[in-house]
């Protein structure tokens, strides 16, 4: 009489999908042993365990030990896939069973390895089984790829997004919170500080943790990308599968900031150029240092490697003109037109209405739950109040959007505003000093935030006489990208060095315009200040350089800006430039009313 080992295994997925339990398997296998006249030596059960390999099944391993000790000479199982689904593991198992003169029988597959034909049939059956498993896996992956590319992202509720027919779309009620997190982090706030701010303001009526902020800042979904299979060790990146809440540039800059923050910097104060100054000797980011003793009134930046130090007040003197330009841009473009620019691009009214209706439906379902005694009156009142508060906030935002609809402006208005600011700086004495005065009126925190918004790093040269010189200012990519988009939209100018009649000078220029566009713009500008205009020829010096055949209209004029003229709608054949000149003697400047709340 043979000693039989009855082996049963079931995973949670198997039971849910195929409906057989350990008890059902055991009953059938005991009946088979009775029919075969086998003595049941022991029952081995692995519950809730997968058949991916043989190393992580304790009862299976005990059974093989008993085979090796000659206590068992036949293994009885319900189906072959209860033992293994791997061709490699099956080959190892059959080899081991042959070595110790033990056979294998499976009740539902009519398998018996006591003969050569039986062993061949088992191997073929397992090959086909694994082939089917791999084909199903491939079809599943292929279907998932298609779904992800269509915006059906397999993630749980993610801040800033909501479902629309299974597709992940931006939730306008939460997207501003996400934007604010990235903005606060880029301004130098730590994860914990951001969490503290949100807890103090009771954002979304929930408890915020530093780990929550970290997960949001590192989630590529906010830049429109999705990573699948991160836990398996074989992640796949899907680019541009959802509408991004923030730009890819901003996301990348925050990752750079994370790497900076991972280093140890001494902070005992609020430093204006925090993590911005590059050491002139070893090119490391300089740490912040506030010394004691006789020098305690000064703020310093010190290199932790070579101990080079730089005084903050000296840096400000060198950078004040650049800072004034940044402040002018921040005041006249970023703060002035930003709400309208955002509204024109996004126009979230429809999404807000959809979210409001969704919350109203939840209130109706909540009432039904109370009437059917599913929830208590206290739970109903609390949840209803929370939903109504969310609706109120969304309706307030909707009102703001409708207010913005009333304003009708163009990118040309931004250009006009900035050109008038340039005229002020050229004609009104000490106008630039006005921004320097405003700078001094800012708090240290406000100064730091301004630098954080626009500057990535500052490269400094220290001369032999210990004087400083600014080698280069590296602006943030987000600012450069924003500036480039506005320049291409003919909203703002940029500075260029131009050669004319053998003289080199720096002057503002804008994106190419047609003659009709220039004519229209000049008429608008002349409403506020008398200007002169002339067209000049471009003269090529060599392949890379050219100069303009330019002479001032009269000796009291100064060039305000030059405009590349589009020749027959062909951007590649710029042969002429328009030059706008202004008289520099004092003339009253009519300033348009651009006040936007």
Cα 238 to Cα 145, 151, 229, 247, 274, distances in angstroms: 9, 10, 11, 16, 35
Helical (H) or strand (E) element with 325: helix 312-329
Number of H helices, E strands in the chain: 19, 21
* CA pair distance 27, 42, nearest whole angstrom: 14
Burial (0-12, 13-18, 19+ Cβ within 10 Å), 151: middle
CA–centroid distance for 239 within its chain: 12
Token readout for 162 is: 């909501």
Q: For residues 381 and 70, give the distance between their C-alpha atoms in angstroms, rounded to a whole number.
A: 70
Using CA of residue 476, residue 479, residue 482, residue 487, what is the dihedral sign? negative
Contacts of range 279-284, beta carbons closer than 8 Å, 24 or more positions apart: 279/303, 279/305, 279/306, 279/308, 279/460, 280/308, 280/459, 280/460, 280/461, 280/462, 280/471, 281/306, 281/308, 281/462, 282/306, 282/308
63 by Cβ neighbours in 10 Å (0-12 / 13-18 / 19+) ranks as buried
Between vectors from CA 208 to CA 205 and to CA 210, what angle results, nearest 5°? 170
Instruction: For residue 499, indicate whether it is catalytic.
Output: no
In 153-302, alpha helices (H) = 172-186, 191-201, 210-217, 248-261
* Angstrom distances, CA of residue 379 to CA of 190, 369, 391: 36, 10, 18
Residue 594 burial (CB count, 10 A) = 14
CA nearest to 483, candidates 596, 334, 353: 334
Q: State the CB neighbour count (10 A cutoff) for residue 447.
A: 18
Between the two ends of the chain, the Cα-to-Cα distance in Å is: 94
HSE-CB for 520 with a 13 A CA cutoff: 8
Instruction: Note whether 522 and 504 are within 8 A (CB).
Output: no
Element (H, E) at 522: helix 515-526
With a CB cutoff of 8 Å and minimum separation 6, the contacts of 398 are: 349, 352, 353, 356
Report in angstroms the alpha-carbon separations of 531 from 16, 442, 457, 523, 590. 81, 35, 39, 10, 13
Nearest to 324 by CA among 482, 413, 454, 461: 454
Whole-angstrom distance, CA of residue 177 vs CA of residue 179: 5
Name the active-site residue from 11, 247, 422, 457.
11
How is residue 267 written in tokens?
A: 């902070």
Q: Any idea which residues carry the catalytic annotation?
A: 11
């Amino acid at each position: 009489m043979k000693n039989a080992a009855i082996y049963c295994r079931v995973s949670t997925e198997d039971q849910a999908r195929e409906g057989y339990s350990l008890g059902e398997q055991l009953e059938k296998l005991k009946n088979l042993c009775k029919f075969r006249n086998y003595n049941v030596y022991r029952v081995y059960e692995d519950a809730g365990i997968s058949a991916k390999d043989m190393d992580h099944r304790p009862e299976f391993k005990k059974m093989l030990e008993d085979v090796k000790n000659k206590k068992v000479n036949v293994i009885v199982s319900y189906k072959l896939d209860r033992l293994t689904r791997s061709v490699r593991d099956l080959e190892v198992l059959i080899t081991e069973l042959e070595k110790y003169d033990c056979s294998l029988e499976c009740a539902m597959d009519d398998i018996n390895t006591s003969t050569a034909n039986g062993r061949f049939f088992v191997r073929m059956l397992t090959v086909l089984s694994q082939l089917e498993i791999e084909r199903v896996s491939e079809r599943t992956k292929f279907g998932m790829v298609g779904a992800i590319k269509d915006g059906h992202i397999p993630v749980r509720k993610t801040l800033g997004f909501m479902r629309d027919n299974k597709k992940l779309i931006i939730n306008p009620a939460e997207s501003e919170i996400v934007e604010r997190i990235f903005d606060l982090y880029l301004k130098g706030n730590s994860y914990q500080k951001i969490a503290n701010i949100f807890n103090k303001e009771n954002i979304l009526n929930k408890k915020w943790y530093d780990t929550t902020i970290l997960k949001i800042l590192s989630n590529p979904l906010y830049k429109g990308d999705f990573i699948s299979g991160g836990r398996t060790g074989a992640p796949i990146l899907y680019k541009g599968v959802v509408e991004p809440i923030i730009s890819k540039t901003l996301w990348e800059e925050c990752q750079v900031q994370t790497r900076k923050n991972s280093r140890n910097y001494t902070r005992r104060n609020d430093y204006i150029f925090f993590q911005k100054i590059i050491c002139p000797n070893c090119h490391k980011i300089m740490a912040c240092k506030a010394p004691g003793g006789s020098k305690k009134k000064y703020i310093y930046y010190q290199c932790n490697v070579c101990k080079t130090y730089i005084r903050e007040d000296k840096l400000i003197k060198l950078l004040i003109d650049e800072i004034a330009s940044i402040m002018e841009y921040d005041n006249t473009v970023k703060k002035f037109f930003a709400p309208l620019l955002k509204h024109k691009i996004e126009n979230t009214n429809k999404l807000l209405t959809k979210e409001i209706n969704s919350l109203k439906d939840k209130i109706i379902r909540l009432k039904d739950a109370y009437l059917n005694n599913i929830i208590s009156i206290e739970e109903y009142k609390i949840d209803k109040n929370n939903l109504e508060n969310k609706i109120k906030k969304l309706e307030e935002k909707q009102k703001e959007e409708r207010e913005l609809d009333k304003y009708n402006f163009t990118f040309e208005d931004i250009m006009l505003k900035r050109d008038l600011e340039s005229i002020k700086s050229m004609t009104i004495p000490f106008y630039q000093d006005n921004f320097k005065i405003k700078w001094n009126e800012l708090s240290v925190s406000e100064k730091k935030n301004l630098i954080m918004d626009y500057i990535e790093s500052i490269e400094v040269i220290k001369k032999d006489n210990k004087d400083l010189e600014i080698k280069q200012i590296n602006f943030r990519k987000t600012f450069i990208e924003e500036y480039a988009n506005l320049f291409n939209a003919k909203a703002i100018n940029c500075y260029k060095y131009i050669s004319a009649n053998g003289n080199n000078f720096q002057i503002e220029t804008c994106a190419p315009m047609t003659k009709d566009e220039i004519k229209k713009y000049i008429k608008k500008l002349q409403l506020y200040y008398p200007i002169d205009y002339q067209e000049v020829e471009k003269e090529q010096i060599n392949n890379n350089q050219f100069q303009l055949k330019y002479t001032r209209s009269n000796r009291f004029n100064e060039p305000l800006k030059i405009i590349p003229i589009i020749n027959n709608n062909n951007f590649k054949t710029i042969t002429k430039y328009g030059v706008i000149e202004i008289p520099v003697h004092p003339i009253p400047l009519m300033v348009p009313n651009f006040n936007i709340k």
